Chains A and B, each alone.
Chain A
Amino acid sequence: MKTLVRVFSLAVFLFIGQSAQAVLEIEITQGVEGGLPIAIAVFTGDTYTAPEAIETIVRNDLARSGLFDVLDKQRLPQVIANPSQLNFKAWRDAGVESLLLGKITQTNGDQFRIEFQLIDLIRKKRVLGNVIPADAKDVRKVGHKISDLVFETLTGIRGAFSTRVAYVSTINKDGSKKYVLQIADADGYNARTIFSSSKQILSPAWSPDGSRLAYVSFESGNSAIYIQDIIQGTRAKVSAKKGINSAPAWSPDGRQLAFTLSASGSPDIYILDIASKNLKHLISGPAIDTEPSWMPDGKTLLFTSDRSGGPQIYQVSVNGGKAKRLTFDGKYNAAADVSPDGRFIALVNNSGNGFRVAVMDVQSQAMRVISNGSLDEGPSFAPNGSMIMYATADQGRGVLAAVSADGRVKQKLRLTEGDVREPSWSPFR
């Protein structure tokens, strides 16, 4: 299979709160032929004072999804404002089957109207057309929205480009370390800090409705689990027992939180009913039991246990009972994250070549390694199951990477500031 290696590199200056400028960079480090061939035309019309062209945002979104073969900007045969000017042959000769056209009209000050249409070049037919009014500052939102609509029209799968990612970063400033919990757009842009501490932060997890984050903070000296409302900024301490309080995971209905406590002497899995505060000791025993993850039906949990020697993934009913071992390939399998349809499990695997992200088919138990670092960890599925975000080391520094679920397309999201890790992909908005 011929692999195209492309690097789309672009940088944009953002202001994060009142802090200094940070440069974000998107790199598509590996692509492959065989995606849906599409071209994103230059959007014509009025100029606007946004840092980046909408079509560039859409082009990058679709390219990094792994399902599209996006025509390079330099190879666009035509600049067209109106489909009536469309030279079908020129676009077909460029190898394209679908074409996105767009037009921007300034309506008032910073207000714009963005019209776009998706053309099926084979059937010579418009398959999608829409108008979005927007403020210039919302240009990235508009770009992701268009990407979502194009993605869904052509693949039948709901687009997840308008989603976000939460992660932890360490920033060294003036000789002291600061730990920050941040939320950025799923492509790494628009990062905002929602919690900052001089002590360690771990394991952010989105509530199913996307309104809250559960995470672990060492701010009180020991680990404790908090739930923070990301809009209000308010938060509640939900567990601060003796020993470890960690690895929070929301039930699919958002009413329960599974996590790890070692108050009994060894790390065990517990389930907390958030409203009633009723705490159930689900998994016990002298081994390490941690990293709970709910199956989408809410009836069973996956977790990591070293009861057999090394860490492996097990499955257990939320009502307790005997746990069933799921992983047998490799000496280290941990940190399972289940795909939204429940068919696949992303996990950290070590079969002798380092710690890598692998995807296991739940039915066949076949496992495929989809990352190629040596210290990769923290896999988190996109809410549409099409991609997986994980943490990897890049020249000694932690960065986030996204890989298509089939492993074919990889992308690094890079913040120039900080050592980044622990990604958690948000649900749909």
Chain B
Amino acid sequence: MTKQLFLAFFISLLLAFSACSTSTKQMPGDVISDDYEGGDPSLDDSAATTGLDGEGGLSMSSLDDVIAQSGNVVYFDYNSTEIRDESIPLIMAAAESLTANPAAQLRLEGHADERGTREFNLALGEQRAQTVRDLIMLQGVSGNQLDIISYGEEKPAVVGSGEESWQQNRRVEIIQ
């Protein structure tokens, strides 16, 4: 498993725990041993538990805050649909926002740089948007809240050839 995906899953788990923190319901797959429950704490003074929730957990900002701070764009490597670590906070904020507002919708616009054929880039742009969508849905968001469109290389963010321009064009824009 790639580092990025691992991180994404890890954050997903954190969010899952945080979502379940007020409930004692056992989730399928959770492994809880009853053996020591209610046991004498004096048997091991060093034992201490720390909640994942609260101060020690992940602090989530609102989607508006994240966008205001670092923009609404997820960037990609050349010919890649893999989400980079740097984009995880934006995607998680988008997921949180949609979870909090089940009636809300987001549009994911996929784009590619000018290299390669236009039709292949149209497909590549869609796959990038789908990768972002899938990660948002992994947080429990309904697919109905997400709309995807690919423009391929037809709608560059910046005009010009060279990696500096290309990097800015390989993107998914999260549009509210």
A-to-B contact residues, CB < 8 Å: 200, 202-203, 218, 221-223, 243-244, 246-247, 260, 262, 265-267, 288, 290-291, 304, 306, 310-311, 332, 334-335, 348, 350, 355, 374-375, 377-378, 393, 396, 421-422
Contact = CB atoms under 8 A, between A and B. Distances in A.
Contacts of B114: 375
B118 interface: yes
A310 B117 contact: no
Contacts of B148: 243
Contact of A260 (B119, B124, B149): B119
Contact of A311 (B116, B118, B161): B116
Given A222-B149, A393-B161, A288 B127 contact: yes
Nearest to A379: B117
Interface in B118-176: 118-120, 122-124, 126-127, 130, 148-152, 154-155, 159-161
B120 A290 contact: yes
A334 B117 contact: yes
B117 A291 contact: yes
Nearest to A391: B118
A291 B152 CA distance: 14
Contact of A290 (B119, B130, B151, B161): B119
Given A247-B119, A288-B123, A291-B117, 18 more contacts: A202-B119, A221-B149, A246-B119, A260-B119, A262-B126, A267-B123, A288-B124, A290-B119, A310-B79, A311-B117, A311-B120, A332-B116, A334-B116, A334-B117, A335-B117, A355-B116, A375-B115, A422-B118
Contacts, number: 81
A244 B123 CA distance: 7
Contacts of A246: 119, 122
A291 B160 contact: no
Contacts of B159: 396
Contact of B122 (A223, A332, A422): A223
20 contacts: A202-B118, A202-B119, A202-B152, A203-B118, A222-B149, A243-B148, A246-B122, A247-B119, A262-B123, A266-B127, A288-B120, A290-B119, A304-B119, A304-B120, A311-B116, A334-B120, A335-B119, A335-B120, A396-B159, A396-B160
Contacts of B123: 244, 260, 262, 267, 288, 290
A203 B119 contact: yes
Interface in B78-126: 79, 114-120, 122-124, 126
A377 B161 contact: no
A425 B160 CA distance: 28
Contact of A200 (B79, B124, B155, B161): B155
Nearest to B151: A200
Q: Is the interface of B mostly helix, strand, loop or mixed?
A: mixed
A419 to B, nearest CB: 9
Given A262-B126, A396-B160, A396-B161, A421 B116 contact: no
A244 B161 contact: no
A361 B154 CA distance: 31
Contacts of A334: 116-117, 119-120
Interface residues of B, number: 24
Contacts of B150: 223, 244
B122 A377 contact: no
A400 to B, nearest CB: 14
B129 to A, nearest CB: 10
A244 B126 contact: yes
A106 B79 CA distance: 61
Contacts of B154: 200, 202, 218
Nearest to A336: B117
Contacts of A310: 79
A265 B148 CA distance: 11
Contacts of A221: 149
Nearest to A222: B149
B18 to A, nearest CB: 30
Given A221-B149, A222-B149, A396-B160, A244 B122 contact: yes
B160 A348 contact: no
**Residue with the greatest number of chain A CB neighbours at <10 A, chosen from B116, B127, B152:** B116
A360 B122 CA distance: 25
A124 B116 CA distance: 52
A306 B121 CA distance: 12
Contact of A291 (B119, B127, B130): B119
The 9 tightest CB contacts between A and B, nearest first, are A288-B123, A267-B123, A200-B154, A335-B117, A334-B117, A247-B119, A291-B119, A290-B119, A290-B123
A421 B122 contact: no
Contacts of B124: 288
B166 to A, nearest CB: 11
A334 B151 CA distance: 18
Contacts of B120: 288, 290-291, 304, 306, 311, 334-335
Contacts of B79: 310
Contacts of A374: 161
B68 to A, nearest CB: 27
B169 to A, nearest CB: 13
**Residue with the greatest number of chain B CB neighbours at <10 A, chosen from A288, A304, A311, A374:** A288
B160 A421 contact: no
A246 B150 CA distance: 11
A358 to B, nearest CB: 13
Contacts of A288: 120, 123-124, 127
Nearest to B148: A243
A203 B161 CA distance: 22
